[in-house]
Amino acid sequence: MLTLRQIEVVRAVMITGTVAGAARLLNVSAPGISRLMKYTEGSLGLRLFDRRGGRLVPSVQARAVFEQVNAVFEKIEDLRYVVARTRSGAAQELRIGSVPSISHVMVPRAIERVRAQYPQLLIDINILKIEEAIDYLLLGKGEVVAMSYRLDHPGLTFAPLAAGDLLCIVPEAHPLAARSVIAADEIVRHPLIGIDPNDPYGRIMSDIFRERRLDYEITIRARFGSTVCSLVKAGLGIAVIDQFTVADGAFPGIRVLPIAERPRFETWIATKAGTTLSLFADGFVRFLRQEMTRDGRPGP
């Protein structure tokens, strides 16, 4: 039985017709090629090459062997080609979902790293509300969803992603903009903008008031955190938002204030129960967790 290395060397000698030429082709020493050829012929009990006019030509008795060597080498080249395409992401697809609060800044950060590692990978990103994630995963529309809320569903599996702070955002021209910190009981004294408190994401934001039995009223409701930020920028009120939505100065024109009570919240990666992530999805989750953990470290 020939090893892959022996097949490679035998074929190199066939192509070049000399030991020295095979050595140059494989970027190894000529004595090493000679020793391996002698060993190969000895183990097979065949003389593979005859010397004619200073060149090595396949012997008549080994002709059938060379036909198989060529066939095996072609398969090896096919395998190398497929592996190279897979490593670069060619003809492969990554399908992921994310809730808006994570998709605005954090997902692009992670995707940038995925693209650097797999430059030819086709990437499909869906922005989903929490309740839309169930069908997205169960129907096989995507592999993973980055979530801001953990659902109790037998068909889904949840893994921790990162923890982050809840923050107060105010317009740059607002009287509160000069503050370095603000308490929950001060926030409720101002017109509030936010997500519907009955929405799972909206509930995360409003829990800071409910847990402290503070009366509050959301005077303007929006579906997404990015819309909330734009409304605050327009001077229509203040809001509580998660730090991932406003990371990297994503919304110029607003001032971000720490909340005195330091409310925290968890984010999650949801997958269909019983499934194994692809190489690409696993890399995306790893990069996303690293980016969000880096951004989600508690401040001073």
- Inter-axis angle of helices 30-44 and 4-16, nearest 10: 110
Give, in words, the CATH class of 4-88.
Answer: mainly alpha
Q: What is the pLDDT of residue 89?
A: 57
Q: Would strands 264-272 and 156-171 be described as parallel, antiparallel, or unpaired? A: antiparallel
CATH topology of domain 93-157+269-295: D-Maltodextrin-Binding Protein; domain 2 (3.40.190)
**What is the bridge-based pairing of β-strands 49-52 and 55-58?**
antiparallel
**pLDDT value for 90:** 54
Asked if residue 169 lies in contact with residue 232, where contact means CB atoms within 8 angstroms, the answer is: yes
Q: What is the dihedral of CA 294, 148, 177, 257, to 10 degrees?
A: -50
Domains 93-157+269-295 and 162-264 share a fold: yes
Query: What pLDDT score was predicted for residue 102?
Result: 95
CB 280 within 8 A of CB 114: yes
Q: What gap in Å lies between CA 187 and CA 184, rounded to an integer?
A: 5
Q: Is the pTM of this model over 0.85?
A: no
Residue 65: predicted pLDDT: 77
Report in angstroms the alpha-carbon separations of 5 from 22, 69, 72, 286.
13, 11, 12, 36
Q: Where are the domains of the chain?
A: 4-88, 93-157+269-295, 162-264
C-beta neighbour count of 184 within 10 angstroms: 19
pLDDT in tens, the chain (300 residues): 678 888 888 888 888 889 998 898 888 999 999 999 899 888 888 888 888 888 888 887 777 777 777 777 777 766 665 566 666 555 589 999 999 999 999 999 999 999 999 998 999 999 998 888 999 999 999 999 999 989 889 999 999 999 999 999 999 999 999 999 999 999 999 999 999 988 888 998 899 999 999 999 999 999 889 999 999 999 999 999 999 999 989 899 999 999 999 999 999 999 999 999 999 999 999 999 999 998 655 443
Q: In residues, how long is the chain?
A: 300
Report the CATH fold assignment for 162-264.
D-Maltodextrin-Binding Protein; domain 2 (3.40.190)
Q: What pLDDT score was predicted for residue 300?
A: 37
Question: Which pLDDT belongs to residue 299?
Answer: 41
Predicted pLDDT of residue 84: 62
